[in-house]
Amino acid sequence: MKELTFALIGNPNCGKTTLFNQLTGSNQHVGNFPGVTVDKKEGRVRSHPDVVVVDLPGIYSLSPYTAEEVVSRDFLLHGNPAGVINIVDATTLERNLYLTLQLVELRIPTVLALNMMDEVRANGGYIDVAAMEAELGIPVVPISASKNEGVEELCSRAIRAAREKALPRRVDFCTGEVHRAIHSITHLVEQKAELAAIPARFAASKLAEGDPLMADSLHLTESERHLLEHLLSEMEAAHGMDREAAMADMRYTYIEKLCAQTVVRPGDTKEQLRSVEIDKVLTSKFWAIPIFFGIMVTIFFLTFGLIGPFLNSIMEEALDLVALGLSGALVRWGVNPTLRSLVLDGAFAGVASVLSFLPTIVTLFFFLSLLEDSGYMARVAFVTDRLLRRIGLSGRSFVPLLIGFGCSVPAIMATRTLASERDRKMTIRLTPFMSCSAKLPIYSVFTLAFFPKHRALVMCCLYFGGMLVGILYGLLLKNTAFKGNPIPFVMELPAYRLPSPKSVLLHMWEKAKDFLVKAFTIIFVASLVVWCLQSFDFGFNPVDDSSRSMLASVSRLIAPIFIPLGFSDWRAATALVTGLSAKEAVVSTLSVLLGAGDAELPTLLAGFFTPLQAVSFLTFTLLYMPCVAAMAAVKREMGGWKAAVSLMAQQTGVAWLVALFVYQGGRLLGLG
């Protein structure tokens, strides 16, 4: 059979990724806030290997305002999907069906999936699926993606519609002056739309909304643009509102009539009623921010002061046993002492020093995934809107900044959800100040070495310190390179829901997997390279003292830069440089250079740095430029290496200045 490709599309937070996972068996992360999917993802349907489903970013309309919405529209227009699966939230049909009316104009076989029908039924609601199907002219299937109800029927009907090329039976939902304007525009652009491979009716609707992208795609002449403007001016005059509002009014009027005929409205769902009561506290004017900070401090205490250290000690004991067994095996096999040192003191020591902190990272993301999946993080975006506006951003920027605590790469990609180019570029510049999870091993080993009784407090200071520096830098940008105001903030607040155990475990596994992949690739290679460079001189002669090695000679060239910051030793400079490959490499490099096992490293660090030097080193590590993968993402999103190099230089400069302030200020206070 010919391979079929389906576009899976719907409003943000309507269950697209959950349905995608059910169809394909994929394990994409599902979040209970808008903006989780920022690029299209593909997967084959488990029960139909010849069927491919493409999960597109959430979109409210086919008139795109953000980069992620452009991805969805371009795929529908130019990706040649065999069919469309339009998933909607059945508890909020009026808003979701706005996109549906535009999709049927594309003249692609389309199936409407009414998701969350279990919630509709649980609250006494009812939807006349047959009547809705007859009215819209497309197949309509009730489902519950989270419970895998109706998914197989949806798949079967979508495949049947695509193979039979069953186009939507109705595309005309307009009346009055709007009706006349659209039909006149359709006749005007019919030939050009056919040449551009765009359905004429869809093109006419977009032009009626004043969509500039469509006018450019059709290459309209000046006379055609003039005639188009005349038709739309007449429509506006007759309708009494501007063209975009007139089109929206037309669609919503039809949707209201459709829902009145086919939907028995339930009362507010239990989830909605519960959410209203909870939001009276969690989004209140006076308590919202203190509660958020209180929750984060509690999470840090549990992660770094209680659960993390206990699990880390177990991991360290396990790694010590592995090291002991590996060392004994290498001796029994008669392996050359140099090669044995390479394996134990280079590769294993470097990887083990990072792996020992895996439990801490998994624990932190367990708590964060609970907050995310419950719907609380969407509220935090709402309540931080006022604060973010003070630095020139809106609450919508909170989502990329939040993702930045996990990894800067997806966080930078998530800025595609921002409609304003100004907001997007400014958010990209601030995202690296949010401390990513790759820095956790650095913080963990230093706090264990210097502040064992106050680990949670120091961790809080580091995370909130990064946020504070980001805020101050944002104020600087707002008053210099990014003058102006952010766009208005509108975000759907999902109902609070109990986090799905599967989703939470998946989120934890994703972070653990990323960490393990780095440990056994980037960190492994970096550890070998560092060991080799610190074990030989430029004549490749073994050295007893690593200070005479190739690595020491090169590192001494950059070490003076850090003298004002309090750490001028070439080994500290080397660790910071290798940290550009992956921030975890800072720990593995120090472990190799100091000749430490994962359990010995904190003790050796306590003799290598003074407490004030350690704080200065942590401050610089917190703020200096992100890894090369993040910089590649900046280059891709901002259009070239010039912008990426500029960001690298600015952020590293900020890190140097703040670390200088911390160290020299500490010395003045007599803390050195």
Confidence at residue 33, expressed as pLDDT on a 0 to 100 scale: 47
pLDDT, tens digit, 9 for 90 and up, residues 435-459: 888 898 899 899 989 998 888 889 8
- At 413, the pLDDT band (50, 70, 90 cuts) reads confident
Confidence at residue 32, expressed as pLDDT on a 0 to 100 scale: 46
Q: Is the predicted pLDDT of residue 390 greater than 90, yes or no?
A: no
Contact (Cβ atoms closer than 8 angstroms) between residue 59 and residue 88: no
Q: Is the predicted pLDDT of residue 82 greater than 50, yes or no?
A: yes
- At 469, the pLDDT band (50, 70, 90 cuts) reads very high
Count of residues in the chain: 672
pLDDT, tens digit, 9 for 90 and up, residues 205-218: 989 888 888 888 88
Helix (H) or strand (E) holding 606: helix 601-608
Confidence at residue 672, expressed as pLDDT on a 0 to 100 scale: 62
When pLDDT is averaged across residues 476-504 and rounded to a whole number, the result is 76
Q: Is the predicted pLDDT of residue 169 greater than 90, yes or no?
A: no
Contact (Cβ atoms closer than 8 angstroms) between residue 647 and residue 634: yes
- Two tokens at 366? 């367990």
When pLDDT is averaged across residues 573-581 and rounded to a whole number, the result is 89
Q: Is the predicted pLDDT of residue 289 greater than 70, yes or no?
A: yes
CATH number of 176-264: 1.10.287.1770
Confidence at residue 351, expressed as pLDDT on a 0 to 100 scale: 84
- Two tokens at 663? 């160290």
Kindly state the DSSP code that residue 407 receives in the 8-state scheme.
Answer: -
Residue 285's Cβ-count burial label (10 Å; 0-12, 13-18, 19+) is: exposed
- Two tokens at 103? 């999709």
Q: Is the predicted pLDDT of residue 230 greater than 70, yes or no?
A: yes
Topology of the domain comprising 4-163: Rossmann fold (3.40.50)
When pLDDT is averaged across residues 58-62 and rounded to a whole number, the result is 84
- At 2, the pLDDT band (50, 70, 90 cuts) reads confident
Confidence at residue 65, expressed as pLDDT on a 0 to 100 scale: 66
- At 25, the pLDDT band (50, 70, 90 cuts) reads confident
Helix (H) or strand (E) holding 448: helix 440-450
Confidence at residue 598, expressed as pLDDT on a 0 to 100 scale: 59
- At 30, the pLDDT band (50, 70, 90 cuts) reads low
The three-state secondary structure class of 457 is helix
When pLDDT is averaged across residues 339-363 and rounded to a whole number, the result is 83
Domain segments of the chain: what residues?
4-163, 176-264, 289-668
What is the C-alpha to C-alpha distance for residues 387 and 183, in angstroms, rounded to an integer?
A: 47
Contact (Cβ atoms closer than 8 angstroms) between residue 246 and residue 235: yes
Confidence at residue 580, expressed as pLDDT on a 0 to 100 scale: 87
Contact (Cβ atoms closer than 8 angstroms) between residue 355 and residue 315: yes
- At 484, the pLDDT band (50, 70, 90 cuts) reads confident
Place of tokens 């993301």: 365
Residue 118's Cβ-count burial label (10 Å; 0-12, 13-18, 19+) is: middle
What is the C-alpha to C-alpha distance for residues 281 and 385, in angstroms, rounded to an integer?
A: 17
Contact (Cβ atoms closer than 8 angstroms) between residue 41 and residue 28: yes
Query: Which is more confident, 285 or 428?
Result: 428
**What sign does the dihedral 567-570-575-577 (CA atoms) show?**
positive
The residue type found at 216 is: D
Query: Which is more confident, 29 or 522?
Result: 522
- At 631, the pLDDT band (50, 70, 90 cuts) reads confident
| Cβ contacts of 529-536, under 8 Å, gap ≥ 24 | 530/346, 530/350, 530/574, 530/578, 530/588, 530/589, 530/592, 530/593, 531/341, 531/342, 531/345, 531/346, 531/347, 531/350, 531/592, 532/342, 532/346, 534/592, 534/593, 535/338, 535/341, 535/342
Q: What mean pLDDT, rounded, does the chain reach?
A: 86
Kindly state the DSSP code that residue 439 receives in the 8-state scheme.
Answer: G
Q: Is the predicted pLDDT of residue 657 greater than 90, yes or no?
A: yes
What is the C-alpha to C-alpha distance for residues 377 and 31, in angstroms, rounded to an integer?
A: 10
Tell me how crowded residue 332 is: count the other CB atoms within 10 A of its CB. Answer: 8
When pLDDT is averaged across residues 538-564 and rounded to a whole number, the result is 88
What backbone torsions phi and psi does residue 542 show, to the nearest 5 degrees?
Answer: -60, 140
Radius of gyration of the chain, Cα coordinates, nearest whole angstrom: 29
pLDDT, tens digit, 9 for 90 and up, residues 253-282: 999 999 999 988 766 667 677 888 888 888
The three-state secondary structure class of 10 is coil
Confidence at residue 267, expressed as pLDDT on a 0 to 100 scale: 61
Tell me how crowded residue 337 is: count the other CB atoms within 10 A of its CB. Answer: 9
Assessment of whether the complete model's pTM goes beyond 0.85 = no
Confidence at residue 84, expressed as pLDDT on a 0 to 100 scale: 96
When pLDDT is averaged across residues 502-518 and rounded to a whole number, the result is 82
Confidence at residue 78, expressed as pLDDT on a 0 to 100 scale: 86
What is the C-alpha to C-alpha distance for residues 494 and 34, in angstroms, rounded to an integer?
A: 9
Q: Lowest mean pLDDT of 179-188, 397-406, 421-430, name the range.
A: 397-406
Side-chain-facing half-sphere of 366: CA atoms under 13 Å: 14
Place of tokens 């009027």: 253
Confidence at residue 644, expressed as pLDDT on a 0 to 100 scale: 86
When pLDDT is averaged across residues 665-669 and rounded to a whole number, the result is 92
